[in-house]
Amino acid sequence: MAQDQYRAEPASDYILRSLDDVTLVYHRRSGQTHIVVSPVPEILAALTGDISSTAEIVARLSHDYDLGDPHDALAAVQTHLDEMVALGLAHVA
Amino acid sequence: MSEEKGRNAGDPQGLPPEDESLVTPTRRRLLMGGAVAASAIVSIRPALASTAASVLNCRIPVPDPPHASQHIAADGSLVPAGTQGAVPGAGRPFTGEEVKAALRGRHLPGTSYEQNQAYLNYIRRLQSGTSGFTCYASLQMPR
Amino acid sequence: MKHQVMLRIGPASFRVGSAWPQPIVDLARLYAAYPQPEDGIADFTVRLEPTRPWRRFIRPSVFIGGDHMLADAAPMALAHGLLAAEMGMNMQMALGWRRHLLLHASCVEKDGRALVMTGESGSGKSTLAAQLGERGWRLMGDEFALLDPTTGQIFAFPRLVSLKNQAIAVMQGEAPAERFGPLMRDTPKGDIRHLVPNRSAVTRMDEGTIPALLLFPRFGFAPEVREVGQGEAFMRLTQASTNYVTLGERGFTALTRFVTDIPARAIDFSSGDEAIAMIDRLWETLA
C-alpha cells in the first residue's frame, strides 16, 4: 500500500468551498458532495502536480505542518489517501 | 523570513531552522497522532426519501405482504412459522408516526415486549424495494 | 376525473382531480384568491382516487395519485380529502420540482429580506411563520422555500398553512374565521385545519426576496439561542432538501452561497410569544 503512487483528481473535476468550520468538496464526476476536515484538504493540496508516493506527500506536508510522530503520520496519511481514492478524489497512478 | 521554512532538505522532521527567533513552533499541528486515523470525510446522502415521504402519511407492514405467513425472529430476520423464539407478524401495518415514537423508546401499539423488539429489528433491516422501506427512510432525520 | 380544479401557488401550478366533489369544493373556496395557471397548463396533476372501485361509495378510501407518487402511501378517509389533496401537491413539489432548490422550511419576509426557518415537523416552523404572517411579516410559505440557484433569492410557495392540534386554537385567536378550512379530526397527523394566507401573501407571491437569517427552531424547550456553524447548517439543509442531489452542481453552489452569506441560529422556546421576541431581537441584530 505504501508503495502506491498517487495523483489528484484533476482540479477542474471538483469544486472546493471553505466554510468556517469545514471544507466542502463537490465531485463533478460522481455528483457527490463531501464534507471534509483536516487533513483531507491539505492532502488534496499536497497532491496537485505530478504523481507522488505517500512518503513524498508526507514530506511535502511537513514543510508547512507539524505532523507529529513520522511513523504515525505515514500511516495516517495512507488511511486518508485510501478513503480519498475510494471516493474518486485521488487516484492510484 | 518564511523563505527558510521548508527548505531544510537535510532535516527529516522539517523543523524550522534554529536561527529563527520564534520560540513556539510556527506550523499548525495537522494530524492527531495515534495508530488509527479517524475518517475526515462525510458524504452527503440523498434525502429524497426522508423529506418527500415525510410530507405523506406512510405505513410499514410487518412483515411485508409477500412474506405475510413467515414469523419474525428476535433479531428481525424472517423465519418459518413456528420457529422457536419467533413471533408472528403484526396484524396491521404501523404508521410512520407509530414507528418513529417506538424508535425513540415508546412501544409499538398492541405489542408485547418480545413482539416490539422483533418488529423494530425487522424494520431496521428493511431494504430498498421492500414495502415500507421508503416510509422507514423518511423517519431517519438527523439529530 | 369527474371533478377538478386548477390553481397556481408561487411558480408551480396544479390540476387537482377527484372522484368525489367535496375536496374540490373545499380547494376552490380556500384558493379562490389565487391565480390560475398560465395558458391553462398545469405543471403537475394530482388525483384523488378510490383505492378500489367500490371504495368510491363504501367506506370511501382515497388514494393520492398524480405525476409523482410514493407506493408506501397509506390511503385516507374521504373526510380528510382536502388534506389528501394538499399532501398530493406537496408530493409533486418534493419529487418533481427542479427549477429551484427545494428547502423543507417556512419563510417570511420583512423589509425586503427573508427569514428562513427549517426543522422537523413539530419544530414549530409552520406555526411561527403563520403567526409572523399575522404580525406584519409577509408569509412566503409554511412548508417549502424555493431557493433560486442563479440569483440566490428565495421564492414563495404560499400554500394553505397546515395547522396541527394546538396550533389550530392559537391561530383561531389570531386570524378571521373565513380564512379557515374545515376542521379535520384524527387524521394520521392529528387534528388539522388549514389557514389561507392573508391577502398580501397571495398578491405578492411572485416576489423573490434575498434571504437574511436562517433559524433552526425547536418548540418545547427552555429558551436558548445557539450559533450554528456553516458546516452544520449546510449538512442539515441537505437533509431538509428533497432535490439537493438531483440539482447537482447548481444545488451545491446555491446551498454553499446560502450558508456562507447568511447567519444561522438555533432557537429553543416554549411559547410562540417567546419565540417571536427572540426572532425580533435576532432580526434586528443580524438581518
ipTM value for the complex: 0.90
Domain count, chain B: 2
Quick check: C106 and C128 in contact, CB under 8 A?
yes
Give the tens place of pLDDT for each residue, C135-192. Answer: 999 999 999 999 999 999 999 999 999 999 999 999 999 999 999 999 999 988 889 9
B141 → closest Cβ in C76, C120, C246: C120
B99 within a domain of the structure (yes/no)? yes
pLDDT-derived band at A1 (thresholds 50, 70, 90) equals low
Residue C237 with chain A: CB contacts under 8 Å:
none
Q: Which domain holds residue B93?
A: 58-140
What residue type is assigned to position C124 of the chain? G
CA distances from B134 to A2, B43, B123 (A): 42, 20, 11
Give the tens place of pLDDT for each residue, B53-103. Answer: 555 567 788 998 888 899 999 999 999 999 999 999 998 888 877 888 888
pLDDT-derived band at B5 (thresholds 50, 70, 90) equals very low
Does CATH number 3.20.170 belong to domain C101-286? no
- Mutate: best of B43, B45, B48, B57, partner C, most C CBs <10 A: B57
B53 in contact with chain C, both atoms CB, cutoff 8 A: yes
C94 in contact with chain B, both atoms CB, cutoff 8 A: yes
Give the tens place of pLDDT for each residue, C225-235. Answer: 999 989 889 98
Domain count, chain A: 1
Using CB atoms within 10 A of its CB, is residue B27 exposed (0-12), middle (13-18) or buried (19+)? Answer: middle
Tell whether B24 and B45 lie within a shared domain. Answer: yes
Residue C256 with chain A: CB contacts under 8 Å:
17, 19, 24
Residue scoring higher pLDDT (C63 or B47):
C63
CB contact under 8 A, B51 and C241: yes
Question: In percent, how much of chain B has pLDDT > 70?
Answer: 64
B5 within a domain of the structure (yes/no)? no
Taking the CA of residue A75 and the nearest CA in chain B, the distance in Å comes to 8
Tell whether B29 and B63 lie within a shared domain. Answer: no
Tell whether B91 and B112 lie within a shared domain. Answer: yes
B121 within a domain of the structure (yes/no)? yes
Give the tens place of pLDDT for each residue, C16-54. Answer: 999 999 999 999 999 999 999 988 999 999 999 998 888
Tell whether B97 and B49 lie within a shared domain. Answer: no
Tell whether B46 and B62 lie within a shared domain. Answer: no
Task: Quote the crossing angle between the two packed helices B113-124 and B96-103, to the nearest 10°.
Answer: 100
Tell whether B109 and B65 lie within a shared domain. Answer: yes
Of B131, B125, B56, B129, the closest CA to residue B93 belongs to: B131
pTM here?
0.80
CB contact under 8 A, C249 and A17: no
Tell whether B103 and B45 lie within a shared domain. Answer: no
Where along chain C do the CATH 3.40.50 domains lie?
101-286
Tell whether B104 and B89 lie within a shared domain. Answer: yes
User: Diameter of chain B by CA atoms?
Assistant: 81
B33 → closest Cβ in A37, A69, A87: A69
- C215: β partners: C117, C265
Quick check: C46 and C3 in contact, CB under 8 A?
no
B74 in contact with chain C, both atoms CB, cutoff 8 A: no
B22 in contact with chain A, both atoms CB, cutoff 8 A: no
B67 within a domain of the structure (yes/no)? yes
Tell whether B69 and B103 lie within a shared domain. Answer: yes
Tell whether B64 and B134 lie within a shared domain. Answer: yes
Tell whether B62 and B132 lie within a shared domain. Answer: yes
Phi-psi region of C163 (alpha: psi -120 to 50; beta: other; left: phi over 0): beta
- The span from the CA of B122 to the CA of C275, in Å, is 40
Give the three-state DSSP class for C129.
helix
Taking the CA of residue C249 and the nearest CA in chain A, the distance in Å comes to 7
